[in-house]
């Protein structure tokens, strides 16, 4: 699994009582030599150790994902 997890930000999950969103950078998430990724974890209950949902985004895709999320925010 991951060698290092660097927490970037944690914020409350809207419309939940104790949920949170956590953004982190994970080094070698798929074993030795694998590329680092940005990780977004959704915790429905903030006391859980593992997120209920998570996504790993390679560095090369981050800008496009941010742009798509901005468009999604505008569409909501």
From first to last of its 76 residues, the chain has per-residue pLDDT tens of: 546 999 999 999 999 999 999 999 999 999 999 999 999 999 998 788 899 999 999 999 999 999 999 999 999 9
Runs of H (alpha helix) within 1-76: 62-75
Can you give the pLDDT at residue 25? 97
Can you give the pLDDT at residue 22? 96
Can you give the pLDDT at residue 47? 80
Can you give the pLDDT at residue 70? 98
- pTM of the entire structure? 0.86
Task: Name which of 66, 6, 8, 59 is nearest 34 in CA terms.
Answer: 59
């Amino acid at each position: 699994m991951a060698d290092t997890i660097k927490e970037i930000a944690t914020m409350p999950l809207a419309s939940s009582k104790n949920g949170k969103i956590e953004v982190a950078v994970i080094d070698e998430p798929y074993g030795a030599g694998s590329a680092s990724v940005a990780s977004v974890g959704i915790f429905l209950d903030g006391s859980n150790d593992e997120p209920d949902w998570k996504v790993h985004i390679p560095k090369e895709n981050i800008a496009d994902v941010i742009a798509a999320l901005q468009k999604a925010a505008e569409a909501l």
